[in-house]
């Protein structure tokens, strides 16, 4: 929550705010998220406009997740820009002039940045995080890390459907001896 009282309500008045907040829980997506409680740096410009307070800024946060190809941990940093208008909560509906229910409102001159931060971060996250852009992933045969062993190869891929037969054949060969 950010107090906007110091800003005043004269349209055009501005205030810069920089602060660090702990990341809220479940900020991000399943494969990539901002660790709960990790520091999120926020730089903001608050600007009083006729209807309320226009907030423009960016947030920098740490990311943790898993590479979708090789499942190795991914650590990264993200910087997301955002802009949002918070309408004064004492404006009556008649003043709203077509502003719909989805508009964000100031509550007692406080603005809640968390939903805006959430939307901005989730929008900016890659849906398929990779440890490296060209991560070769895992061997489809044995699951080995191809990055550790780029020349990795299997001479004769064993089709699992034949593995049982091969074992049977081996047993038979042994009996014949
Ligand atoms: Zn990877
Ligand atoms: Zn392999």
pTM of the model: 0.73
pLDDT of residue 158: 60
Contact residues for 35 (Cβ-Cβ < 8 A; gap 6+): 23, 62, 64
Q: Is the pLDDT of residue 64 over 90?
A: yes
The helix/strand/coil state of 151 is: coil
pLDDT of residue 163: 65
Structure tokens at 63: 């990311």
Average pLDDT of the residues of the chain: 86
Distance 153 CA to ligand 2 centre (A): 6
Q: How far apart are the first and last CA of the chain?
A: 81
pLDDT of residue 174: 72
Distance 146 CA to ligand 2 centre (A): 8
Helix then strand count (H, E) for the chain reads 2, 9
Distance 65 CA to ligand 2 centre (A): 24
Q: Is the pLDDT of residue 61 over 70?
A: yes
Q: How far apart are CA 167 and CA 177, in angstroms?
A: 16
How sure is the predictor about 153, in pLDDT bands with cuts at 50, 70 and 90? confident
For residue 46, list its beta bridge partners.
Answer: 15, 55
pLDDT of residue 100: 58
Q: How far apart are CA 8 and CA 13, in angstroms?
A: 7
Q: Is the pLDDT of residue 60 over 70?
A: yes
Distance 165 CA to ligand 2 centre (A): 22
Distance 142 CA to ligand 1 centre (A): 16
Distance 120 CA to ligand 1 centre (A): 25
Of 162, 172, 163, 131, the C-alpha closest to 148 is: 131
> What is the distance, to the nearest Å, from the Cα of residue 56 to the centroid of all Cα atoms in its chain?
20
- Please provide residue 6's backbone torsions phi and psi, each rounded to the nearest 5 degrees: -60, -25
Give the strand pairing for 104-105 and 73-87. Answer: parallel
Ligand nearest to the CA of 72: 1
DSSP E strands: which ranges in the chain? Answer: 2-3, 14-22, 27-29, 32-34, 39-48, 52-66, 73-87, 104-105, 110-111
pLDDT of residue 151: 83
Residue-wise pLDDT for 91-129, tens only, equals 765 555 555 567 889 988 888 999 999 999 999 998 889
Least confident stretch, 21-30, 106-115, 153-162: 153-162
């Amino acid at each position: 929550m950010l107090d906007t009282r110091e800003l005043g309500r004269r349209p055009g008045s501005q205030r810069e705010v920089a602060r660090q907040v702990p990341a809220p829980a479940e900020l991000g997506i399943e494969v990539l998220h901002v660790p709960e409680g990790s520091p999120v740096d926020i730089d903001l410009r608050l600007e009083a406009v006729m209807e309320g307070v226009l907030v423009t800024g960016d947030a920098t946060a740490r990311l943790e997740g898993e590479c979708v190809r090789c499942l190795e941990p991914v650590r990264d940093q993200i910087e997301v820009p955002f802009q949002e208008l918070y309408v004064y909560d004492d404006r009556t509906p008649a003043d709203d002039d077509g502003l719909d229910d989805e508009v964000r409102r100031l509550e007692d001159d406080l603005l809640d940045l968390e939903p805006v931060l959430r939307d901005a971060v989730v929008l900016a996250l890659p849906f398929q995080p990779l440890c490296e852009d060209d991560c070769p992933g895992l061997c489809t045969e044995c699951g080995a890390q191809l990055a550790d062993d780029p020349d990795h190869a299997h001479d004769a891929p064993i089709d699992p459907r034949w593995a049982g037969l091969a074992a049977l054949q081996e047993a038979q060969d042994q009996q014949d001896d």
